[in-house]
C-alpha cells in the first residue's frame, strides 16, 4: 500500500479483508506520517463486535530519529501500547515549519 494515498489504501484494505487478509500499516517516517496512518486507521469501519475483538494495529519505527519528532509541535507517543488519534484539523498535528526548513534538502 506504499504511497497510494488514503482512498486507494482504503480500497486495498477492503479488498484484502474480503479475502480474509488483515492489513497493518507500517510507518517509517515523521510524526506527520504517523498522524496520517492513525487517521487512516480511524477511517476504517470498526470490526464486528465479538468476545475477542481484534484492535487495529500500527507498526512504528522507534529507533532514535530527531527529525521524526521535530517536525510537529506535539509529537504523538505510544502510551501502554496504544496511540491516541489526533483530533485537531487536518491530520491532527501542527507542523513545525522551522524544523521542515532546517531539515530540507536544497
pLDDT confidence of residue 95: 96
pLDDT confidence of residue 48: 74
Q: Which residues are catalytic?
A: 26
Angle 80-90-24 (CA atoms, 0-180°, nearest 5)? 45
pTM of structure = 0.86
Four-way CATH pick for 6-46+55-103: 3.30.70.920, 3.10.20.90, 3.20.20.120, 1.10.3720.10: 3.20.20.120
Q: Which pLDDT tens digits describe the chain residue by residue (106 residues)?
A: 555 788 998 999 899 888 988 888 899 999 999 999 999 999 988 777 788 878 888 999 989 999 999 999 999 999 998 999 999 999 999 999 999 999 988 8
- Domain boundaries of the chain, sorted by first residue: 6-46+55-103
- Write the CB contacts of 98 (distance below 8 Å, at least 6 apart in sequence): none
pLDDT confidence of residue 17: 86
pLDDT confidence of residue 80: 93
Closest C-alpha to 31, from 90, 71, 83: 71
Amino acid at each position: 500500500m506504499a504511497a497510494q494515498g488514503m482512498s486507494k489504501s482504503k480500497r486495498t484494505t477492503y479488498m484484502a479483508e474480503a479475502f480474509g487478509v488483515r492489513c497493518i500499516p507500517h510507518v517509517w517516517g515523521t510524526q506527520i506520517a504517523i498522524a496520517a496512518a492513525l487517521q487512516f486507521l480511524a477511517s476504517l469501519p470498526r470490526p464486528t463486535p465479538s468476545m475477542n475483538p481484534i484492535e487495529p494495529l500500527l507498526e512504528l519505527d522507534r529507533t532514535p530519529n530527531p527529525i521524526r519528532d521535530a517536525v510537529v509541535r506535539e509529537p504523538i507517543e505510544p502510551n501502554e501500547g496504544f496511540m491516541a488519534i489526533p483530533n485537531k484539523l487536518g491530520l491532527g498535528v501542527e507542523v513545525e515549519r522551522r524544523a521542515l526548513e532546517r531539515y530540507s534538502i536544497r
